[in-house]
Amino acid sequence: MKQPLLFLGLFFLSLTGFSQQPGAGTLQGTLRMADGQPAAFASVQLRGTRLGTTANEAGDYALNNVPAGEYTLLVSGVGVETLRQAVTVAAGEVTKLDVTLRGMATQLQAVEVTGRRETSYKNDYSYALKTQSPIKDIPQSIVSVTKELMQDQQSFRTGDVVKNISGVNQFSAYDDFTLRGFRSNTQLINGLRAGSGFWSQPLLVNIERVEVIKGPAGALFGRTDPGGTINRVTKKPLPYRRNAVSFTTGSFETYRATLDFTGPANESGTLLYRLNVGYESTETFKTLQNSEDFVVSPSLSFVPNDKTQINLDLVYATTDGKLYRGQPIFGATAGTNLNSTPISFAIGRANDYLKERNFFTTVSLNHKFSSSLSFNVSYLKFFYRENLMEHRTSNSYAVDGAGKQIPTLMQMQTIRRLSRNYADNVTAYFVKTFGTGPLRHQVLLGYDYARNYVPIGGSSEQARGYRLKSGGIANTFNPARAADYVLDAKGNPVPNVPHFDLVKPDYSIANVSGYVTTATAMPEALATSGGVYLQDQIDYKKLSVLLGLRKEFFNDRFNYRTATEQSVKQESLLPRLGLVYRLTPATNLYATYVRGFVPQNTASLANPNVGGPFDPLSSRMMEAGVKSELFGKRLLLTTSVYQVEQNNVLVNANNPQNPELLQQRGQERGRGVELDASGKVTEDFSINVNYAYARTLITQDNNEARVGRIKENAPVHQGGVWMRYNLSKGELKGLGLGLGSNFVSERNTFSDILKLPAYTLFDAAVYYRFSQYQVAVNFNNLTNQTHWVGGYDFNRLFPGAPRNFLATLSCTF
Domain end point (choices 101, 134, 159): 101
Res 291 pLDDT > 80: yes
DSSP 46-105: ETTSS-EEE--TTSEEEEEEEESEEEEEEEE-TTB--EEEEEEE-TTSEEE--EEE-B--
Does some domain include residue 87? yes
Does residue 92 sit in the same domain as residue 153?
Answer: no
Tens of pLDDT along 741-783? 999 999 999 888 889 999 999 999 999 998 889 999 999 999 9
Tens of pLDDT along 5-59? 455 454 444 444 444 456 788 999 998 887 777 887 777 888 878 787 878 777 8
Does residue 228 sit in the same domain as residue 144?
Answer: yes
Does some domain include residue 66? yes
Does some domain include residue 207? yes
What pLDDT is recorded for position 335?
60
Q: Express the helix, strand and coil content of the chain in percent, nearest 5 each.
A: 5, 55, 40
DSSP 719-733: EEEEEEEE--SSTTT
Q: Which of 724, 660, 659 is nearest to 688 (CA)?
A: 724
Q: What is the mean pLDDT of residues 538-554?
A: 94
**390: number of Cβ within 10 Å:** 19
- The domain in which residue 67 lies consists of 2-101
Does some domain include residue 260? no
Do 116 and 236 meet the contact criterion of CB atoms below 8 Å apart?
yes
d(CA 612, CA 634): 51
Label residue 104 by pLDDT band (50, 70, 90).
Answer: low
The β-bridge relationship of strands 99-101 and 24-33 is parallel
Percent of the chain with pLDDT over 70: 92
Does residue 140 sit in the same domain as residue 210?
Answer: yes
Res 565 pLDDT > 80: yes
SS3 (DSSP) at 235:
coil
Does some domain include residue 187? yes
Tens of pLDDT along 387-402? 999 999 988 889 999 9
Q: Supply the CATH number for residue 194's domain.
A: 2.170.130.10
What pLDDT is recorded for position 18?
42
What pLDDT is recorded for position 12?
47
Does residue 87 sit in the same domain as residue 53?
Answer: yes
What pLDDT is recorded for position 663?
75
Does residue 146 sit in the same domain as residue 199?
Answer: yes
| Phi, psi values for residue 203, rounded to 5° | -65, 150
| Max Cα-Cα span within the chain | 97
Instruction: Mean pLDDT check: name the lowest of 107-116, 319-328, 355-364, 507-516.
Output: 107-116
The mean of the pLDDT values for the chain is 89
Does residue 143 sit in the same domain as residue 193?
Answer: yes
**794: number of Cβ within 10 Å:** 27
Does residue 82 sit in the same domain as residue 9?
Answer: yes
- Exposure b/e, 369-384, CB count within 10 A at least 16 = b: eeeeebebbbbbbbbb
Does residue 88 sit in the same domain as residue 148?
Answer: no
Q: Supply the CATH number for residue 95's domain.
A: 2.60.40.1120
Domain end point (choices 233, 250, 273): 233
pTM across the whole model: 0.85
Instruction: Mean pLDDT check: name the lowest of 165-169, 184-188, 284-288, 619-623.
Output: 184-188
What pLDDT is recorded for position 550?
95
Does some domain include residue 698? no
**Alpha-carbon distances, residue 451 vs 425, 547, 606 (angstroms):** 6, 27, 17
Does residue 90 sit in the same domain as residue 132?
Answer: no
Does residue 215 sit in the same domain as residue 156?
Answer: yes
Please give the residue that has the higher pLDDT: either 506 or 331. Answer: 506
SS3 (DSSP) at 660:
coil
Domain end point (choices 233, 252, 282): 233
Please give the residue that has the higher pLDDT: either 613 or 555. Answer: 555
Q: Which of 178, 138, 174 is nearest to 157 (CA)?
A: 174
Does some domain include residue 85? yes
Provide the domain count of the chain.
2
Q: What is the mean pLDDT of residues 516-526?
A: 91
Does some domain include residue 569? no
